[in-house]
């Protein structure tokens, strides 16, 4: 089992994402996870809120077991429920139904910290007929620095094994053209960020929220004019932006108090 210390960053990330002013998640919405061993993922238990998360609100699942269920075309919700029953008997709490989505992000895209939220700003676009602008060319340089050249947009799918399968398929397609995405936009649902740590997961969420707010305001004024491919390429590869990216990656949580 994990100690509370192992999950300190994950707990802090969860509480930060749940801060009411951010408008990223209310009630028990959203979930976070962190890979803690080769085959172990700590993921938020179902029904717990991000805002007052503690280490006790996380449950450990097997990446391999859940990834196998996603892979098996004959497996469905009943197989997931059977495994979750096992986990609940062992650990006294049940993983979130969205644990499978986290597993795919870790196994397929190499994330170590995953955060899934339902931001008002992002969902305003994801619930509109302009959702595709989120996965289009970037609109400003800081978006390129933090999120990269393209996010991945996934059509609506039933949360659980169906959504995890859809994300697995789309991640593979996206990787062929753009590499591994750092953000995934789920239509009519929400945002998933793929971080290499808790701080990066927060930075990605904050940037996706900002991009969505700017896009929302832009669409109210007129059409979106994205950056050109050349400008994006230039920001993505120039040295000073690489230095800024590295500095962002080294950022640590401030000590509380």
Using CB under 5 A, count the residues that bind Zn ion.
Answer: 1
Complex with Zn ion: residue 18 or 190, whichever CB lies closer: 190
CB of 109 to Zn ion, least distance (A): 18
Complex with Zn ion: residue 48 or 149, whichever CB lies closer: 48
CB of 188 to Zn ion, least distance (A): 10
Q: Is 81 exposed, middle or buried (0-12, 13-18, 19+ CB in 10 A)?
A: middle
Complex with Zn ion: residue 153 or 227, whichever CB lies closer: 153
Q: Is 142 exposed, middle or buried (0-12, 13-18, 19+ CB in 10 A)?
A: middle
CB of 20 to Zn ion, least distance (A): 18
- Residue of closest CB approach to Zn ion: 190
CB of 9 to Zn ion, least distance (A): 21
CB of 161 to Zn ion, least distance (A): 14
What is the DSSP secondary structure assignment for residue 45, as one 8-state letter?
B
Q: Is 222 exposed, middle or buried (0-12, 13-18, 19+ CB in 10 A)?
A: exposed
CA-CA distance, 25 to 39, in Å (whole number)? 28
Complex with Zn ion: residue 100 or 232, whichever CB lies closer: 100
- Do 26 and 61 touch, CB atoms closer than 8 A? no
Binding mask 169-208 for Zn ion (x = CB under 5 A): ---------------------x------------------
Alpha helices in the chain (DSSP H): 8-17, 63-71, 77-91, 99-109, 120-126, 141-147, 161-178, 198-221, 229-237, 239-250
CB of 98 to Zn ion, least distance (A): 5
* CA diameter of the chain: 55
CB of 189 to Zn ion, least distance (A): 6
Complex with Zn ion: residue 190 or 197, whichever CB lies closer: 190
- Do 32 and 12 touch, CB atoms closer than 8 A? no
CA-CA distance, 81 to 87, in Å (whole number)? 10
Complex with Zn ion: residue 107 or 157, whichever CB lies closer: 157
Complex with Zn ion: residue 149 or 168, whichever CB lies closer: 168
Of 77, 16, 70, 67, which is closest to residue 40 (Cα–Cα)? 67
- The residues that touch Zn ion, with contacts defined as CB under 5 A, are 190
């Amino acid at each position: 089992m994990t100690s509370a210390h192992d999950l300190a960053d994950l707990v802090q990330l969860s509480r930060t994402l749940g801060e009411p002013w951010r408008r990223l998640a209310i009630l028990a919405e959203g979930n976070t996870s962190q890979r803690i061993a080769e085959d172990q993922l700590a993921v938020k238990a179902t029904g717990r809120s991000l805002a007052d998360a503690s280490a006790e609100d996380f449950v450990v699942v097997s990446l391999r077991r859940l990834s196998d269920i996603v892979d098996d075309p004959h497996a469905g919700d009943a197989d997931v429920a059977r495994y979750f029953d096992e986990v609940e008997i062992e650990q006294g709490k049940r993983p979130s139904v969205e644990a499978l989505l986290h597993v795919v992000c870790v196994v397929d895209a190499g994330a170590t910290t995953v955060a899934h939220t339902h931001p008002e700003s992002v969902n305003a676009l994801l619930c509109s007929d302009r959702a595709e602008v989120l996965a289009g060319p970037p609109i400003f340089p800081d978006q390129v620095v933090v999120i990269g050249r393209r996010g991945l947009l996934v059509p609506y799918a039933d949360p659980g094994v169906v959504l995890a399968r859809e994300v697995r398929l789309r991640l593979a397609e996206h990787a062929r053209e753009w590499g591994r995405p750092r953000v995934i936009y789920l239509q009519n649902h929400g945002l998933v960020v793929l971080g290499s740590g808790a701080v990066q997961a927060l930075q990605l969420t904050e940037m996706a929220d900002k991009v969505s707010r700017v896009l929302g305001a832009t669409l109210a004024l007129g059409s979106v004019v994205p950056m050109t491919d050349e400008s994006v390429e230039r920001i993505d590869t120039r040295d000073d932006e690489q230095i800024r990216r590295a500095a962002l990656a080294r950022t640590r949580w401030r000590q509380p108090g």
